[in-house]
């Protein structure tokens, strides 16, 4: 082979290698993995799925977190959002907070509420029921004056927005998810560390809601089976057990016999709610709860090709 031929071959090999590397980089950038913007960087455009209405929310942790904890929290929030079908584009650590960019095209006005639902601590416990008190119809919930029957907001009912509302080693008072009953619950027998996985399941018959099945580790299964055997030998209300998440009782069924398998959380869940709850349980607990400190809706368009949100009609603190 002549010298010019060898040079042409070498140049061709280099060009092919560079082109291949560029394709690999492009493929990596188009994945669904979290995309974190650098602090102050608002120039990156949103991808095609967010080319319409979207919002940016700033999540303030209830307690100060280290950078590594915030990074871990960002991953958990992203995973929960994915499980519940909430179209979050990215979660960014910025100035001690998390900044979430989310499309409004799927849930519209409900997007903020669904985001708030996945940024609680996600602390799961399973407890024996000691006593149950119904809320009197048409009267206020505990600690809440007036006619509002919603129990949340009273510390006696384990406000889900309150940090540490469900300490595993202590007796707690909590309210059910339908705001109808107040429970006194024994110290936790099972915590989130005993969860092996959770999944949403479609209704088995018409007229029924979606359910969430929780599978246990070997240790968790032993504890759950013992708890249900003990409950089955009691009388109302001590024959009930409660599955609690962030201070709210998700379900508190009566137990007829020991349960050697998974727990099933049933209710009036639709698909999105069931997947959201399963994702919260399966994703593990956040190091602390977060609140939505600001929420700005925007729409990329004329004069906003960069994709950063313009102030919209809804800005909350």
| Element spanning 244, H or E | strand 241-245
Does the structure show a pLDDT above 60 at 158? no
Write out pLDDT tens, residues 256-297. Answer: 999 999 999 988 889 989 998 999 998 889 999 999 999 999
Q: What is the pLDDT of residue 175?
A: 84
Closest CA to 53 of 290, 304, 271: 304
What tokens does 124 get?
């799961």
Nearest to 108 by CA among 308, 299, 286: 299
**Does residue 78 contact residue 99 with C-beta atoms inside 8 Å?**
no
- Give Cα separations from 74 to 175, 182, 268 (angstroms): 29, 33, 29
Spatial separation of the C-alpha atoms in residues 212 and 198, rounded to whole Å: 7
CA–CA distance, 40 with 220 (Å, rounded to integer):
44
| Residues 108-126: tens digit of each pLDDT | 999 999 999 999 999 999 9
Section 172-201 average pLDDT? 89
């Amino acid at each position: 082979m002549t010298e010019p031929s060898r040079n042409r071959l070498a140049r061709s090999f280099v060009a092919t290698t560079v082109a291949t590397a560029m394709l690999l980089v492009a493929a990596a950038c188009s994945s669904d993995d979290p995309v974190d913007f650098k602090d102050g960087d608002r120039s990156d455009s949103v991808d095609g799925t967010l080319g319409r209405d979207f919002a940016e929310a700033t999540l303030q942790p209830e307690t100060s977190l280290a950078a590594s904890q915030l990074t871990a929290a960002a991953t958990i929030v992203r995973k929960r959002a994915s499980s519940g079908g909430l179209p979050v584009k990215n979660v960014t650590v910025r100035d001690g907070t998390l900044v979430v960019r989310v499309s409004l095209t799927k849930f519209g006005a409900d997007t903020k509420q669904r985001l708030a639902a996945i940024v609680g601590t996600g602390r799961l416990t399973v407890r024996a029921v000691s006593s149950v008190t119904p809320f009197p119809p048409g009267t206020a919930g505990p600690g809440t004056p007036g006619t509002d029957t919603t129990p949340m907001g009273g510390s006696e009912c384990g406000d889900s927005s309150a940090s540490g509302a469900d300490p595993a080693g202590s007796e707690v008072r909590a309210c059910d998810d339908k705001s109808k009953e107040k429970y006194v619950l024994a110290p936790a027998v099972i915590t989130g560390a005993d969860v092996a996985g959770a999944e949403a399941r479609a209704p088995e018959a018409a007229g029924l809601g979606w359910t969430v099945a929780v599978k246990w580790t070997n240790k968790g299964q032993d504890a759950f089976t013992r708890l249900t055997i003990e409950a089955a030998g009691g009388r109302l209300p001590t024959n009930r057990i409660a599955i609690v998440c962030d201070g709210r009782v998700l379900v508190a069924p009566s137990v007829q016999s020991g349960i050697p398998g998974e727990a099933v959380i049933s209710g009036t869940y639709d698909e999105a709610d069931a997947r959201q709850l399963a994702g919260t349980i399966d994703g593990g607990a956040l190091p602390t709860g977060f609140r939505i400190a600001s929420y700005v809706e925007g729409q990329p368009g004329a004069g906003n090709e960069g994709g950063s949100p313009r102030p919209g009609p809804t800005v909350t603190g």
